[in-house]
Amino acid sequence: MYARRRHRYFVMMGICIALFVLAWGVVRLWSVPAAVGMCLVAMVIPPLAAIVANRRGPDDRWWDDPSGDPGSDEWWDELDGKKGPRRQDRP
């Protein structure tokens, strides 16, 4: 899943760069308003690319999944209120 998101991110950013380069390298020779419009579209792409790259997929591990370390998982469960406080047996 991570590779797919990363691929989409780089494709979107490549499109963004291509729009900027084409707008001011080619399109501005015929139409400055069209070049400005292309730059406005390119301006919206980076935030969308960041959202796509950081979106959690259905198979991704989420923050509250068990880590595999029983001591750590027990400690986090206690902090989150999922379990009561740990008892410490004192001699």
Return per-residue pLDDT of the chain as tens, 91 residues: 678 888 999 999 999 999 999 999 999 999 999 999 999 999 999 999 999 888 876 666 566 666 778 887 787 778 777 776 666 655 5
Domain count, the chain: 2
Q: Long-range contacts for 46-53 (Cβ within 8 Å, ≥24 apart)?
A: 46/13, 46/16, 48/12, 49/8, 49/9, 49/12, 49/13, 49/16, 50/9, 52/5, 52/8, 52/9, 52/12, 53/5, 53/6, 53/8, 53/9
Q: Could you tell me the residue range of the domain that residue 81 belongs to?
A: 61-91
In this structure, are 38 and 18 located in the same domain?
yes
In this structure, are 52 and 9 located in the same domain?
yes
Query: What pLDDT was estimated at residue 20?
Result: 94
In this structure, are 53 and 80 located in the same domain?
no
